């Protein structure tokens, strides 16, 4: 089978970013991370572990909602309940925050790849 190669400069990047598309992308990333790090059996784990969406902080384990490696917010996980189910439910509920996530995505697009971007363009309060 021959590969069909396309020059990168001959196709446009996706410009139609919508609040719904941002939420779908975050949900997909969270569920892929969950599948990779928590569902696969130990013998199927790749040698190099990918970034996990669950982080340890002073308040315990949290789901980190990230875009372009920037953390939007943390969602605390209850240690008494099934962690996988909590992450799935949290991902489903992100649609309630699509406007904030959309504004956060626009901000990360603005600062990513800009030296000192976070200082030049501080995070807007309405993205929390």
Task: Tell me the per-residue pLDDT of 82-127, one tens digit each, with 9 for 90 and over.
Answer: 999 999 999 999 999 999 999 999 999 999 888 999 999 999 999 9
Residue 80 pLDDT more than 80? yes
Q: Record the tokens describing residue 7, joined without a space.
A: 């020059």
Residue 12 gets which letter from DSSP?
P
Tens digit of each residue's pLDDT (9 = 90 or more) over 20-61: 999 999 999 999 988 877 655 455 555 555 567 999 999 999
Q: Are 39 and 84 in contact (CB under 8 A)?
A: yes
In terms of pTM, does the model score above 0.85?
no
Query: CA geometry: angle at 102 spanning 53 and 90, to 5°?
Result: 40
C-alpha span between 22 and 101 (Å, rounded) = 7
Radius of gyration of the chain (CA): 17
Give the pLDDT confidence score for residue 102 in this predicted structure: 96
């Amino acid at each position: 089978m021959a590969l069909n190669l396309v020059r990168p400069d001959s196709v446009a990047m996706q410009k139609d970013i919508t609040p719904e598309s941002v939420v779908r992308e975050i949900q997909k990333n969270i569920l892929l991370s969950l599948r990779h790090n928590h569902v696969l059996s130990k013998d199927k784990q790749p040698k190099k572990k990918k970034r996990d969406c669950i982080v340890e902080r002073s308040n315990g384990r949290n789901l980190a909602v990230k875009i372009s490696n920037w953390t939007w917010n943390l969602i605390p996980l209850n240690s008494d309940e099934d962690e996988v189910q909590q992450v799935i439910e949290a991902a489903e509920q992100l649609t309630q925050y699509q406007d904030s996530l959309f504004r956060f995505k626009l901000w990360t697009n603005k600062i990513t790849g800009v030296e000192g971007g976070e200082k030049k363009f501080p995070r807007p309060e309405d993205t929390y």
